[in-house]
Amino acid sequence: MTAMTPAGDYRTSYREDMTIFPTRNSRRALWLGIGLLCLAPLALGRYELGLLINIGFLGIAALGLNILVGFTGQISIGHAAFFGFGAFASAWLHERWHIPVALCIPLAGLMTAVVGLVFGAPAARLKGLYLAIATLAAQFILEDFFARAQWFTGGVAGSITEPFALFGWVADREETYFYVVLAWTILTYLAAANLMRTRDGRALVAVRDHYLSAEMMGINLAYYRTLSFGIASFYAGLGGALYAHYLLFVSVEAFNILFSIQFLGMIIIGGLGSVMGSLMGAAFMVLLPELVQAGADALAGGAVDRTLKLGANISFLREMVIGAAIILFLIFEPDGLARRWRLIKAYWKLYPYSH
Amino acid sequence: MRLRRRLLGAAAAAALAWPLAAGAQPIPVGHLMDNSGATSDVGVPYGQGVADAFAWVNRTRSGVNGRQINVLGFDYGYQAPRAVSQYQAWSRDRVVAIQGWGTADTEALVRFVTRDHVPYVSGSYSAALTDAAGKSGRQGVEAAPYNFFYGPSYSDALRAMLQWAAEDWKAKGRPGRPKYVHMGANHPYPNSPKAAGEALARELGFEVLPAIVFALTPGDYTAQCLTLKNQGANYAYLGNTAGSNISVLRACQTAGVEVQFLGNVWGMDENAMKAAGTAANGVVFPVRTAAVWGQEAPGMTSVQAISRISDQSGTAYRPVHYLAGICSAMLMVEAMETAAANGGQVTGERIRDGFYARKDWVPRGFEGVCAPSNFTPDDHRGQLSVALYRARVAGDTSQGSVAELMRAGTMRLEPVATITLQRKPEWLGW
Amino acid sequence: MDWPLLLQLTLNGLIVGALYGVVAMSFVLIYKASQVVNFAQGEFLLVGAWVCWWLLTEWQLPFWAGFLVTLAFMTLFGVILQVVVLRPLIGEPVISVIMATIGLGIFFQALMKWIFGVFAKPFPPIFSADQVNVFGLQVQTVYLLSLGISLLIMAGFAWFFTVSKHGLAMRATAFDQQVAQSLGVSVPKVFAMSWAISAAVSAVAGVVVGVVNGVSSALSFYGIKVFPAVILGGLDSIIGAVLGGLIVGVLENWAQYLDAEWLNWGNMYTVAPFYALILILLIKPYGLFGTRNIERV
């Protein structure tokens, strides 16, 4: 994954070569961005902060899926089930074992990682389409498990959880929980970006690009594929736990096949194999329904609204737009928003030369 | 340019003057609906009834004490997490009361509305919501002092139908013990009366068969019907909404199952009778209102006026759920009027107390349509009197609208009996 | 052991399984010809059923006329989908194509709900005798019709692929696209034709299910049930698809029997095919009749 560098490659140390931020400006931009986000609760309303929080934990889960699909070349149509497992696990840990919520979140991630490894081991033997179908079946089986495991999930009625609390500071409102999610998002994204420049990360990419050659080079395919499932599940579980302590209520109905498909949509729209793309894709998926709602509100009462009955059918319109967005991005922008962003940056940097 | 300045000036003046304008701040009320999810087949008419009733109150009665009711509608598609998320948005907007819908989300929100003092009138009639003070001692049932609903609870309706079924068995002179089976999805709403029903059935001498599961969505339920036929059940309770019950009724008719089906309040209505055709003939189900659309009653004029809000032509047929929605909304309106009387604040606690203010409560203007309700601080079982009707379908229902079929007599709702249960304290909460 | 119930359930399973087989055949047709996994197969059923219902109720056409018009419409529909959505994605990785078909599925499901509403709508009565008695089990006449049509379709497919020129062209394209193209076979036309036939055949299944159960969004679930059927039979074998469909139908009903007699879990009918799917994928991923994919370096 390349970023814009000044003309020519001039590095004088390994450290410079391996850095995540090739230019000073990109590092400064990141600091500026984080600073602005920290100040966001002062400027934005609850609703916008709620959207940002959604982007946060969905972005973490999408990043996990991107590691699995974009970097390792596997497919998973059951990601929502792992997200749900993390949510239920966090709620269960807190309710049953009275572990403070701050610890429940990473522990839930670890529990989900274990489950992911269990699913990943047989999945490592399957490729491509068969893997997709197997994960589809796993999604339905896990959904069924959630509905029936009363002791773990509260059955079909769901379970109620407590908000995040650290040394007496309770983060039960958007303004405060925002910082929790921001912290975890920064942590996980840095971890993923770092993973990609380590030996294991490069091994994952090798497995994706040409697994036969990778195997011949001594990379253990089964090990890395399973590891990839485990990492993806950890991220998904983390995202799920953050979701659970935001909504304070977890129910199996939320983790259906449509949700899994939305995760896949996020990484495809954002860009497969791109860390930043996962966040952009998550932002797109969260903001798209808002756009649709705004569009419907703008047209409300007019002739278009009356003939199409937009108001009553807004949820169908939302789904149609999601489906259409996925298809249009696949046809016109198959490498996703990340690539489009890179092209825009290149245009600015290299104008008037072609990029 | 000058015009724009003038307009801006006028707007500024209006904005400044508005708070002074007669203090007529609207009352924010939340309204959760299912217009697109698994229970939308019954959610759409009920939600329409609630919305139209509020609009009518705003129009003809100038709202509550001169203050318009600002209804914030939200279609949550029967997904509990979306309802909870919307509730949290509303509670920060200081919504004073909520018209809710489904069992799963209502039960999930009990703790929240109790904490935030927000009266919640639900479309869910789960008995767990009636234990207002938490005194029932039932496991898993929390105190729900702010939850109300218009109508008999699912458990009480099932108890009434079982009592009727026991008498029906004797009246038919059949030998031996009748067999009863609970059918429904594995979901809080159909599961709600299961334990209560099976317990009472055993008490009344029924042989209780293992429950049969079928999903809330329409589908092919031939296998379940074959099992039902094989078990030899005599009375089967259908716990789902009309949409999936239709599939079961048709499949069971094909499979040649002979059983008396007992529906829940959401399980059968005029639309379902048209969709299921002769398969729906004979289904016994409770009706929450004292009259159905097309019958004569003093309150019907108000109902028809409300119906005109969304149907100018006045030709639409309004199913039983529409009328129940009206009654639910009117209960809330009158509770708010009680709260606002004598210059009082319309707050959650006062609205809740408004529910306790009347005995045998029929909202004014709806006599003969809304059945009387009684709420007390310990016991939110509003109605213990269950009116049972039988669906009668005489011929092909595929041609013609519901209104035409009802007028022609092809479809009829035949009153069967009204069972009044005793207000037993041990039956509270389950 | 309740033998009469088991027999009845088995019969029911075979009848429903024949429908699964028809849908699975259409799925395999697309996969064999154009290497595309169609996650929107269920939506073909849905669209076909709704269009036929609309023609019968709104335009008052007799059943046979509405049925033929539906077939024509679905053929066109399949061609348009292939040309507009799938053709630009030729050569893209399999995840992209899968996502495109998933996106199509979501789009059309929501569109159907928007146009026709969420209530299940019954078909107008078509046959004078609604049911017939088969071995003690009351079977809907239309299910027998579907059995007949399924056999006809299978025979048609067999003739098409072994004798007709277009069918042979399709087999050649499935085997090796480049060689087929060099021999003069128009590969884009073959793709479009495969989608058209698949859409039309699925519409037949959709109409049948619609006549029995009423048309509703539950028809899309057939598109998910098709996966256990094709995995069992082998992704690129049409005979396997039919057998897979029958086996899944019987499996569902036997699971229901198990559930009703002993387990009392209540959900085995829905979940059992997916457990079977995972099992097959672990033991015999290429199914009963699929060609084994031998990897060469």
DSSP A142-187: HHHHHHH-HHHH-GGG-EE-PPEEETTEEE-SHHHHHHHHHHHHHH
Q: If pLDDT is split at 50, 70 and 90, which confidence band does C203 have?
A: very high
Sequence-ordered list of residues with C-beta below 8 angstroms from that of A146, at least 6 positions apart, any chain: A81, A84, A85, A88, A152, A153, A252, A255
What six digits make up the tokens of A133?
A: 């179908």
Q: Cβ contact (<8 Å) for C113 and A69?
A: no
State both tokens at A139: 């999604």
Q: Which two tokens stand for residue B187?
A: 């979901």
- pTM listed for this prediction: 0.86
Q: In Å, how far is A299's CA from the nearest CA of chain B?
A: 18
Task: Give the best-scoring range by mean pLDDT among A9-23, B2-16, B412-426, C252-266.
Answer: B412-426
In this prediction, residue B16 carries a pLDDT of 44
Look up the ipTM and state it.
0.84
In C, which residues are within 8 Å of A261 by CB distance? 102, 106
The pLDDT-based confidence of A4 (bands split at 50, 70, 90) is low
Neighbours, chain B (3 or more CB pairs < 8 A):
A, C
Judging contacts by C-beta atoms under 8 Å, the chain C residues touching residue A125 are: 282
Contact A254 B79 (CB under 8 A): yes
Which residues of chain B does A158 touch, with a Cβ-Cβ cutoff of 8 Å?
A: 80, 104, 108
CA distance B165 to chain A (A): 30
Put simply, the answer to whether A312 touches B35 (Cβ < 8 Å) is yes
Q: Judge whether A45 is closer than 8 Å to chain C, CB to CB.
A: no
Size of interface B-C (CB pairs under 8 A): 101
DSSP label of B313: T
Cross-strand partners of A170: A165
DSSP type of residue B40? H
Q: Which residues of B touch C130 (CB under 8 A)?
A: 254
Which chain A residues are closer than 8 Å to C275 by Cβ?
A: 137, 141
**Which one-letter DSSP state was computed for residue A44?**
S
- H or E segment and range at residue B418: strand B411-420
Average pLDDT, chain A: 87
CB proximity C201 to A under 8 Å: no
Interface test with A, best of C101, C274, C282, C292 (most A CBs within 10 A): C274
pLDDT of residue B4: 56
Query: Once rounded to an integer, what is the mean pLDDT over residues C50-78?
Result: 92
**Alpha carbons A120 and B277: distance in angstroms, whole number:** 50
**What single letter denotes the amino acid at residue B32?**
L
The tokens for C278 are 């995972």
Token look-up 């910082």 returns A179
Q: Which residues of B328-355 are buried (b: 16+ CB within 10 A; e: fewer)?
A: bbbbbbbbbbbbbeeeeebbbebbbbbb
Instruction: Tell me which of A156, A256, A258 to substitute to probe the interface with B (most B C-beta atoms closer than 10 Å).
Output: A156
- The answer to whether C167 and C193 have CB atoms below 8 angstroms apart is no
pLDDT per residue as tens, chain B (430 positions): 565 555 544 444 444 444 434 457 889 999 999 988 888 889 999 999 999 999 999 999 988 888 899 999 888 888 887 888 888 888 777 899 999 998 888 888 888 888 889 999 999 998 888 888 888 777 777 888 999 999 999 999 999 999 999 999 999 888 889 999 999 988 888 988 999 999 999 999 999 998 888 888 877 888 888 888 888 899 999 999 888 898 899 888 888 888 999 999 998 888 888 888 888 999 999 999 888 888 889 999 999 999 998 888 888 889 999 999 999 999 999 999 998 887 888 888 999 999 998 889 999 899 999 999 999 998 899 899 999 999 999 888 877 888 888 888 888 899 999 999 988 888 888 8
Contact between B128 and B143 (Cβ < 8 Å): no
User: Which SS3 state, helix, strand or coil, does residue A222 take?
Assistant: helix
**Nearest alpha-carbon partner for C211 in B220, B240, B281, B405:** B220
* Pairwise CB contact (< 8 Å): C113 & A316: yes
Partners of residue B188 in chain A, C-beta under 8 Å: 156-157
Interface probe for A, chosen from B84, B93, B139, B312 (most Cβ of A below 10 Å), is B84
Rounded to whole angstroms, the Cα distance separating B141 from B146 reads 14
Q: Does B304 touch chain A (CB under 8 A)?
A: no
- The rounded distance, in Å, linking the Cα atoms of B187 and B107 is 12
**Interior angle at CA B112, CA B111 and CA B114, nearest 5:** 65
Helix (H) or strand (E) holding B287: strand B284-287
Question: How many Å lie between the alpha carbon of B398 and the closest alpha carbon of chain C?
Answer: 6
If contacts are CB pairs under 8 Å, which of residues 54-113 in chain B contact chain C?
A: none
Chain-chain contact of C125 with B396 (C-beta, under 8 angstroms): yes
Pairing mode, strands B120-121 and C131-134: unpaired
Q: Do A46 and B89 touch (CB under 8 A)?
A: yes
Residue C118 pLDDT level (bands cut at 50, 70, 90): confident
Are C282 and A319 inside 8 Å of each other by CB?
Answer: no
Reported as type and span, the H/E element at residue C59 is: none
Helices C221-233 and C41-58 sit at what angle, rounded to 10 degrees? 130
For the stretch A160-207, pLDDT in tens is 888 888 887 888 788 889 999 999 999 999 999 999 889 999 999 999
Q: Are B329 and B50 in contact (CB under 8 A)?
A: yes
What is the Cβ-side half-sphere exposure of residue B157, based on CA atoms within 13 angstroms? 30
User: Where residue A8 falls among pLDDT bands split at 50, 70, 90?
Assistant: low
Q: Check residue B3 and give its pLDDT.
A: 58
- Per-residue pLDDT reduced to its tens digit, C209-243: 888 778 888 888 888 889 889 988 888 788 888 89
Please identify which residue in the block is written with the tokens 């047929």.
B317
State the Cα–Cα distance between residues B99 and B150, nearest whole angstrom.
Answer: 11
The number of residues in chain B equals: 430
CA gap C15, C86 in Å, rounded: 33
Contact at 8 Å (CB) between A34 and A186?
Answer: yes
Whether residue C281 and residue A212 make contact (CB cut-off 8 A), yes or no, is no
User: Rounded CA gap, B333 and B342, in Å?
Assistant: 16
* Region label for B34, one of left (φ > 0), alpha (ψ between -120 and 50) or beta (otherwise): beta
On whether any CB of chain A is under 8 Å from the CB of C79, the answer is: no
The shortest C-alpha distance from B100 to chain C (Å) reads 20
Please state at what angle helix C165-175 crosses helix C187-213, rounded to 10 degrees: 110
* Residue-level pLDDT at B21: 41
Contact C22, C153 (CB under 8 A): yes
| CB < 8 Å to B218, chain C | 120, 213-214, 216-218
Place of tokens 């020129």: C165
From the list B140, B146, B149, the residue with the least C-alpha distance to B102 is: B149
CA distance A330 to C107: 14
Give chains near C: 3+ CB pairs under 8 A.
A, B
Phi, psi (deg, nearest 5) at residue B33: -130, 155
The Cβ of residue B420 has, within 10 Å, a number of other Cβ atoms equal to: 12
pLDDT of residue C238: 82
Q: What is the pLDDT of residues C136-161, one digit of tens each?
A: 666 777 777 777 887 888 888 888 88
**pLDDT, tens digit (0-9, with 9 covering 90-100), for C70-110:** 999 999 999 999 999 988 888 788 788 888 999 999 999 99
Summarised one tens digit per residue, pLDDT across range A199-239 is 999 999 999 999 889 999 999 998 999 999 999 999 999 99
Please tell me whether residue C230 adopts helix, strand or coil conformation: helix
Write down the residue that tokens 């080079």 correspond to.
A217
pLDDT value for B15:
46
In the numeric block, which tokens belong to residue C255?
């699971």
- Residue closest to B362 by CA, chosen among B297, B307, B314, B316: B297
Pick among A315, A317, A322 to test the B interface (most B CBs inside 10 A)? A315
Which stretches does DSSP call E strand in B127-169? 147-148
